[in-house]
Amino acid sequence: QVQLVESGGGLVQGGGSLRLSCAASASRRMFSSLTLAWFRPAPGEERQFVAGFGWSGADPDYAPSVKGRFTISSDNAKDTIYLQMNRLTPEDTAVYYCAATLRPPSRNQHSYDYWGQGTQVTVSS
């Protein structure tokens, strides 16, 4: 089993930055096989892919709408992944969910088996 706990959401002005954290709990053997990602709701989709990578941090993938503004990273010593969000716009307002799977990296929410409770990000204009 994998447990995920997000934090770091809040209210920020447009153009500002936030860093989200996702603390992961799993057996040590599972960590090296995990794919982790961030999702948020979008019109017509329950949860839309934002960014993701394997636990090693290799080959991060980003949605076109956030590429160049958001950065996904990990601190393996803390079993935590981060989403650094810069140049935020009101369109980035959403609940952000951390997700994990033992399957290969995917942008499809249905490939992910473990979800956090979400953290609210609100960007004012």
User: Given this model, what pLDDT does residue 19 score?
Assistant: 98
pLDDT of residue 45: 79
Mean pLDDT of the chain: 93
d(CA 110, CA 101): 10
- pLDDT for 54 equals 81
Q: From CA 83, how far away is CA 73, in angstroms rounded? A: 7
> Does the pLDDT value for residue 32 go beyond 90?
no
pLDDT range class, residue 44, cuts 50, 70, 90 = confident
How many CB atoms within 10 Å of residue 20? 23
Query: pLDDT, tens digit, for every residue of 66-121?
Result: 999 999 999 888 889 999 999 999 999 999 999 999 999 999 999 999 999 999 99
